[in-house]
Amino acid sequence: MQAAQRPHLIIIGGGFGGLTVARGLKRAAIDITLIDKANHHVFQPLLYQVATAALSPGNIALPLRAIFRNQKNVRVLMNRVDSVMTAEKKIRLVSGDEFSYDRLVIATGARHSYFGHNEWEKNAPGLKTLADALKIRQKILVAFERAEALLSVGKADANELRRLLTFVIVGAGPTGVELAGSIAEIAHYTLRKEFRGINPDTARIVIVDAASHVLTAFPSVLGDSAARALQKLKVEVHTQTAVTNITPAGVQIGEEFVPTANIFWAAGNTASSMLKSLGSELDRAGRAMVGDDLAIANFPEVSVIGDAAHAIDSATGNPLPGVAPVAIQQGLYLARKIKQELRGKIAPKFRYWDKGSMATIGRGRAVAKLGKLHFSGFIAWLMWSFIHILYLIGFRNRFAVMSLWIYSYLTNSRTVRLITADDL
C-alpha cells in the first residue's frame, strides 16, 4: 500500500520569522521548501555595525544551507517569488516556475520606504541587507579618503571639504540612532590620528526626524536620554523637522539646505509588492492584514508574519512593531500551530509577549525598556550586548562578535575599514 504523501509547507523568506518556523518543525511530518532571494540568513539588528566597519558580513550571517544541513525535511531554494495564487494553492517564481503548497508562510520582511519619493534612493541608500551595509561602509570610508586626496593635491576648497565630511541620517528610530552614533565614533575617535591632511574630528553628523523626539517607539524619557548621548558624540539632533528634498548636492532639512555627499535613509518601511497578489487586505505600508491566528482572511492555510504582516497586539490593540522579537515569536507560534494541526488539534490564538526594547548609541551607551523598567547608559549597553550575542545564529559568530566588541571597547578601534571597490 502506498504511503500517504506528506503535506508541503512553503516558507518565503529566510529572515527571523521564516527561519524560526522551519527550525521549529525539525521533527514534524511535513516537507518544507524555504525560498529566499539570498543564500544566507542575516542578523539585521547588527547590520549597522557592518555598515560602520565594526563587524564583517560573516560575523552576522550564515548560509541557509549550512543552517539546515542536518534538517532533512527542509529544501532551500535561492530564488525570487513573483506572486501567490491563493485559490490554486500555488506560488510562481520570477522564472515562471510554479510550486504547489498545502501550507504557506510569507516572511518576506520589508524594504525602506521613501514616502513617494523613490528618486531619493539613489542618493540616500537604506540599510536592510548585507549589500546595503557594504555600500554604506564604502560610502563612509571613501568620503574621508576623497577629502584627504583633494586636500593633499591642493584642489579642495573649504566648501567641498565640508560637503565631503558631512553625514546626514534621515530617521531617528533605532537604526538611525545606531548609525549616527557609530559614524560619530569613527570620525571623532577611530580616525582621529590616521590622516595627515584633514582632521576627521571636524566631520559634521546630523540626524533628522519629523517626530517629536528620537526613538519614538520608546518612552520620551529614554528618547531624551538617547538624544543627549548623541549630542555628547557631537551629533546634531533635529526633531520635528521634515526632509523635503534630496539631491546629489545635499538634503533640504526644513528651511536649511545641507550640502553633503553622504545621506543615509532610516525612515520608514514598505512591504514586498508580492503581497498584492494575495488579493487580501493590505495596510498603508503594503503589509497583509492578518487575524489572531496570523492567517489572511478566507485562506487559513496562508500565514504572514514579521515585517510583512499587520498583526494586532491583543494586549494593547495596536499594530505589532516590525522588530525581530515579533517575527521570532510569530515563527515559534506558527511552528507549534502547524504541529498541532498535523495531529488534528486546534491551536490557540497568537499572543505577543513584549520583552522590551533596546537601542545602542555607540560605545558603552544604550537605552532599554523592560516592562515598566527603564535603563540607560552603560548598564543598558551591557544588556543590549548580552541579548544580541544570545540571539546570534552559530557559536562561531557569537564568539567572534563578543571578541571584537571587547577589543573595540578597550581600544576604540574598528577593524574592518576596508574599501573594496575603486570609488576614488
Distance CA 54, CA 149 (A): 24
Three-state DSSP state, 35 = strand
Bridge partners for 251 per DSSP = 246, 258
Three-state DSSP state, 369 = strand
Dig out the grid coordinates for 56 from the structure: 564583517
Same fold, 8-37+79-112+269-342 and 118-267+363-411: yes
Nearest of 276, 304, 278 to residue 21 by alpha carbon: 304
Three-state DSSP state, 403 = helix
Q: What is the pLDDT of residue 382?
A: 93
Distance CA 306, CA 391 (A): 16
Three-state DSSP state, 366 = strand
Helices (H), 25-95: 47-51, 64-67
For residue 163, the surrounding DSSP H or E stretch is helix 158-164
pLDDT by position in tens, the chain (length 424)? 345 689 999 999 999 999 999 999 999 999 999 999 999 999 999 999 999 999 999 999 999 999 999 999 999 999 999 999 999 999 999 999 999 999 999 999 998 889 889 999 999 999 999 999 999 999 999 999 999 998 887 777 889 999 999 999 999 999 999 999 999 999 999 998 899 989 999 999 999 999 999 999 899 999 999 999 999 999 999 999 999 999 999 999 999 999 999 999 999 889 999 999 999 999 999 999 999 999 999 999 999 999 999 999 988 899 999 889 999 999 999 999 999 999 999 889 999 998 889 999 988 899 999 888 999 999 999 999 999 998 888 878 888 898 888 888 878 788 788 888 766 5
Q: What is the pLDDT of residue 3?
A: 54
Distance CA 249, CA 308 (A): 34
Distance of CA 173 to the CA centre of its chain: 11
The CATH class given to the 118-267+363-411 domain equals alpha beta
Q: Is the dihedral of CA 122, 124, 126, 127 positive or negative?
A: positive
Ramachandran assignment for 3, one of left (phi > 0), alpha (psi -120 to 50 degrees), beta (any other): beta
- Supply the pTM of this predicted model: 0.91
Three-state DSSP state, 119 = helix
> Cα-atom radius of gyration of the chain, to the nearest Å?
23
Distance CA 72, CA 81 (A): 23
Please report, for the chain, the start and end positions of each structural domain, with discontinuous segments joined by +: 8-37+79-112+269-342, 118-267+363-411
Distance CA 222, CA 367 (A): 6
| Fold assignment, 8-37+79-112+269-342 | FAD/NAD(P)-binding domain (3.50.50)
Please identify every residue annotated as catalytic. Answer: 178
- Helix (H) and strand (E) counts in the chain: 10, 25
Q: What is the pLDDT of residue 424?
A: 56
